[in-house]
């Protein structure tokens, strides 16, 4: 009913709008007065966490994209080797697991069969399993050694939005906590990231306030067949997520690529007026990455692409090559997915609406996939 949707036309729009509160709720009570993380709820003793020598993340769909981003954060902040794997592939390749492996299963519903089977396999091999989940008391957290709830509130729309942002926050918390417990050489960075995370809710709110041009652009592209998405580093999974949203909601051909792979094949797809969304990392920090992606934008534009550029405020280098420029607040590179994903959600939702599709219940899809 309209009341359940809080005055919005679709649950998806309501859930996109709820994101500032959702990410704040995921942080709530997990940062102490001294600015350190306290995750007692993990129930895995710090002594065990200090012995972990490998992390494997398993998930599906959007949760898998959160896991891909988590890999960058975990390896950087903890120096523990981390791999992220599609839950549906995991157990079939006889993965190497032992009691010093931490498996992180990410799932909004907590009922996804592929993810559940992956975590059962991991536990049979003696690995510790931590669930990152949005649904209290669901099967995945019940069968795990520990759980970190995302506290996004119920997500009704099939297309995942607020669950994704809160999964990211939870992954960052786990990564930073492991960094804190293990006292890695990134100690100062860990503390400053905890502060940066506290500012994210306000920054997501800012992004939401500037979305009208994105909706206009979506309406203008409603009769296109294909949209491509490019990113590097954590922008790569963001590109994949933007493409997944467009597939499931707009039923369009949408593909995400790592921008560095363009020259190894996908650049042949570029033709006149093809919309290409590019997620640009911050020019501060890893500036090499930034400069490389600016060259990628030039290359595709020279071949006729219509460039839709998502870049942080103050990044002037992208201006000459952006047919459409979407600004997001400046964040540390690792946290940028929290702001850069939001315009892609709005874009997909508006395109679906413009194409007359059912936003909350896309064809052929279910909210939770309880078969393998």
Catalytic residue positions? Answer: 367
Q: Please, what is the minimum distance in Å from the beta carbon of residue 54 to ligand AGP? A: 22
For ligand AGP, the closer of residues 101 and 134 by Cβ is 134
Q: Please, what is the minimum distance in Å from the beta carbon of residue 108 to ligand AGP? A: 3
Task: Report the residue closest to ligand AGP, judged by CB.
Answer: 61
Query: H or E element: which one contains 216?
Result: helix 212-220
Q: How far apart are CA 324 and CA 234, in angstroms?
A: 21
For ligand AGP, the closer of residues 58 and 228 by Cβ is 58
For ligand AGP, the closer of residues 50 and 142 by Cβ is 142
- Chain contacts with ligand AGP (rule: CB under 6 A): 60-63, 107-109, 112, 115, 158-160, 248, 368-369
Long-range contact set of residues 286-289: C-beta below 8 Å, sequence gap at least 24: 286/233, 286/333, 289/232, 289/233, 289/333
Q: Please, what is the minimum distance in Å from the beta carbon of residue 176 to ligand AGP? A: 22
Strands 226-231 and 253-258, sheet pairing: parallel
Q: What distances in angstroms separate CA 309 from CA 278, 293, 312, 344, one per listed residue? A: 5, 11, 10, 11
Cβ proximity of 239 and 256 under 8 Å: yes
For ligand AGP, the closer of residues 63 and 130 by Cβ is 63
Q: How far apart are CA 257 and CA 267, in angstroms?
A: 10
Q: Which of 106, 211, 99, 89 is nearest to 150 (CA)?
A: 106
Q: Please, what is the minimum distance in Å from the beta carbon of residue 361 to ligand AGP? A: 11
For ligand AGP, the closer of residues 86 and 354 by Cβ is 86
Q: What distances in angstroms separate CA 253 from CA 164, 206, 245, 259, one per listed residue? A: 22, 30, 11, 18
Q: Please, what is the minimum distance in Å from the beta carbon of residue 174 to ligand AGP? A: 16
Q: How far apart are CA 78 and CA 185, in angstroms?
A: 9
Q: Please, what is the minimum distance in Å from the beta carbon of residue 318 to ligand AGP? A: 28
* Residue 369 dihedral angles phi and psi, to the nearest 5°: -100, 100
For ligand AGP, the closer of residues 91 and 327 by Cβ is 91
């Amino acid at each position: 009913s309209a009341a359940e949707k809080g005055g919005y036309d679709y649950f998806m729009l309501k859930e996109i709008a709820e994101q500032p509160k959702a990410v704040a709720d995921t942080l709530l009570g997990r940062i102490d007065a001294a600015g350190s993380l306290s995750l007692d709820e993990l129930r895995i003793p710090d002594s065990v966490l200090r012995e972990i020598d490998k992390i494997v993340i398993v998930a599906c769909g959007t949760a898998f994209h959160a896991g891909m981003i988590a890999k960058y954060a975990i390896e950087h902040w903890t120096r523990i080797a981390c791999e992220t794997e599609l839950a549906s592939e995991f157990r079939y390749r006889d993965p190497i697991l032992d009691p010093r492996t931490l498996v992180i299963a990410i799932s909004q519903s907590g009922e996804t069969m592929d993810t559940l089977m992956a975590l059962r396999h991991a536990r049979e091999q003696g690995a510790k399993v931590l669930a990152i989940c949005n649904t209290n008391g669901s099967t995945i957290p019940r069968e795990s050694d520990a759980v970190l709830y995302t506290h996004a509130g119920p997500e009704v729309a099939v297309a995942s939005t607020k669950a994704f942002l809160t999964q990211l926050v939870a992954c960052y918390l786990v990564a930073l906590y492991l960094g804190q417990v293990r006292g890695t050489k990134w100690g100062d960075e860990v503390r400053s990231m905890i502060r940066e995370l506290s500012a994210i809710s306000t920054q997501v709110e800012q992004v939401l306030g500037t979305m009208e041009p994105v909706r206009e652009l979506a309406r203008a592209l409603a009769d296109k067949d294909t949209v491509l998405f490019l990113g590097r580093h954590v922008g790569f999974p963001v590109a994949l997520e933007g493409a997944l949203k467009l597939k499931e909601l707009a039923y369009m051909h949408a593909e995400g690529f790592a921008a560095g792979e363009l020259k190894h094949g996908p650049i042949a797809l570029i033709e006149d007026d093809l919309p290409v969304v590019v997620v640009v990392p911050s020019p501060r920090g890893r500036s090499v990455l930034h400069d490389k992606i600016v060259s990628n934008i030039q290359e595709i534009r020279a071949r006729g692409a219509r460039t839709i550029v998502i870049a942080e405020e103050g990044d002037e280098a992208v201006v000459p090559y952006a047919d459409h420029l979407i600004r997001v607040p400046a964040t540390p590179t690792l946290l940028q997915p929290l702001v850069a994903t939001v315009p892609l959600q709005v874009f997909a939702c508006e395109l679906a609406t413009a194409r007359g599709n059912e936003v909350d219940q896309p064809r052929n899809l279910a909210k939770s996939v309880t078969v393998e």
